Amino acid sequence: MINMSDEEFKLLSFYIKENSGINLRKEKKALLVGRLNNMLLELGMDNFMDYYKYLQNNTQGEELSKLIDKVTTNHTFFMREAEHFNYFTETVLPYFRKTIKDRDFRIWCAASSSGEEPYTLAILLDEFFKPTGEIWDKKLLATDLSLKALEDAKRGIYNYEHISSLPKLWVLNYFDKISQTEYQVKNEMRKEVIYRRFNLLESVFPFKKKFHVIFCRNVMIYFDNPTKEALLNKLYDSLDYGGYLFIGHSESINREKTRFKYIKPAVYRKI
């Protein structure tokens, strides 16, 4: 096991926070060492200072992406935190069906990981609008900092346990079985989602139009309060009036400091 000095931890944790917003406290040092040890060995390095310098010299972002993959836990599956999707279907979609006159509906999954969340939303949209024959211009943007997560999402291939919570009819209608244990999201559904690499720490979000719904779930748990508050302000500015923000159930927003209106646990609104 390669040891990490306090100075090396300080440099690496600062680099991670500056580039991703993830706040690693001192007690996370052993975790960081454990998750990065094999990576250093694969790079032929025997100390973390060389690795830090290596990161500094990598300007394309690939190594940062690999580092973030090691630091974070991408535990996700279809219909995760199902209460959100029930509320989305039963309350949010009927509201926007009535209020959006041009039928231009925009959703952003701001930390889409390996694609389960945006594909769940794509299926729900299809299930909601298809029976009535309504034609809507549905724009579903999914972003993440991790290149690997984005590539996995674009492929849309999942083990059965990832989709086991879905109704069997959905599995039949929206997935192709490609092996004994793997299923792939059908091509027409994969086309419904636009994937882009994006860092939520960007000072200005580049979106030309505001979104009606933003899902930003289970990412702010890694941020300190100033970083979280800055992100929430940018998310608020990226929402259309009447729009909804969904966060993770393990996350919270200080209601005294936010412009968002609390609706129910982990659901907020711009009013």
Q: Are 176 and 186 in contact (CB under 8 A)?
A: yes
- Stretch 187-210: mean pLDDT: 95
Does residue 86 share a domain with residue 16? no
Last residue of a domain, one of 71, 92, 119: 71
Does residue 127 share a domain with residue 10? no
Is pLDDT above 60 for 77?
A: no
Does residue 111 share a domain with residue 59? no
- How confident is the model at residue 64, as a pLDDT? 86
Query: pLDDT confidence of 74, banded at 50, 70, 90?
Result: low
Among 68, 32, 25, CA closest to 48:
32
Q: What is the CATH number of the domain that holds 49?
A: 1.10.155.10
Query: pLDDT confidence of 143, banded at 50, 70, 90?
Result: very high
DSSP symbol at 79: T
Question: Average pLDDT of the chain?
Answer: 91
Q: Is residue 151 in a domain?
A: yes
Highest mean pLDDT range out of 45-54, 77-86, 236-245? 236-245
The SS3 of residue 262 is: strand
> Residue 100: which domain range?
82-155+189-269
The backbone region for 242, taken as left when phi is positive above 0, alpha when psi lies in -120 to 50, beta otherwise, is left
Does residue 59 share a domain with residue 21? yes
Q: What are the helix (H) ranges across 21-99?
A: 29-42, 48-57, 62-71, 82-87, 93-99
Structural domain total, the chain: 2
Does residue 115 share a domain with residue 22? no
More confident residue, 35 or 233: 233
Q: Give the C-alpha separation, 112 to 181, whole Å.
A: 23
Query: pLDDT confidence of 179, banded at 50, 70, 90?
Result: very high
pTM, whole model, 2 decimals?
Answer: 0.84
Is pLDDT above 80 for 80?
A: no
